[in-house]
Structure 1
């Protein structure tokens, strides 16, 4: 009986050890995002990434960014514009692990921009104009794991979104994040 218990214990230990060797890895990271907008000031916000790795050098990466900016502009002596711009993107794509430390990724998805312009004059509120657009977005970057459970990512994100006057505005930005790999 003791012999069977010992064999069963060794079998359970071997299965547990082998499953941890081939276990999937997950990485969550959170960081800073900033994008330059043609004809406007920079948008600033956050970026979150999730990476799923299996027993392959290839893995899957999902990225979500949210950035915003509020600006007040004086157009004429008595005209004031308050503009708020929100940028949200959802990207997905492959990552490739070159070794235990360095990986690279490429992403594609959608970006949505919402903008609202409020106009004021010397009497008060005059009116408001809103615009919303959704377009293709893309990104690429590098992930470094200096130690097993730490992840540092640096990436580029871009899109061309249609503005209210039908011009395409380029959104080019970067993100930097720190994450936990388990």
Structure 2
């Protein structure tokens, strides 16, 4: 890997560490829990959902698992409305992460000279949408996937289409799972 790409990656790492540090020191990271998210949505659906989308986006950048957001939405709104809210928040989160990481690092991963990396890039270049759909179905909104795709020089439109098509099935499955847990294990019903 060449020096300019290493500098870009170091800059991204520094940005993410500073962002995480800021959230830890400010105490805001403590608000990324099921109870807080549920209360936020319940208190005012419109503003609560807007805050939900923003928190999901920030949470994705600082490594907060997406299932916390999904569980809060399903428990609060039910599996259909909660799933839709999570889908919108997850797509928004992926787009925000793509924009920030792409801005900071452009195509820094293309400097990897590994034969494995080159094969992966060839596959991504040849089948960008289907590759992203497959990755989303397996890894959903995992931050490292978002970072890798943003730094791989994949086109924005391919990223968007792959994300839009790849997230519904896993979100639907998780909605059913969390709805089952809420109703049958924890005896919680959506409000």
TM value normalised by structure 2: 0.21
The answer to which structure has the higher strand fraction is 1
State which structure, 1 or 2, has the greater radius of gyration over its C-alpha atoms.
1
Q: Which protein, 1 or 2, shows the higher relative CO under an 8 Å CA cutoff with sep ≥ 6?
A: 2
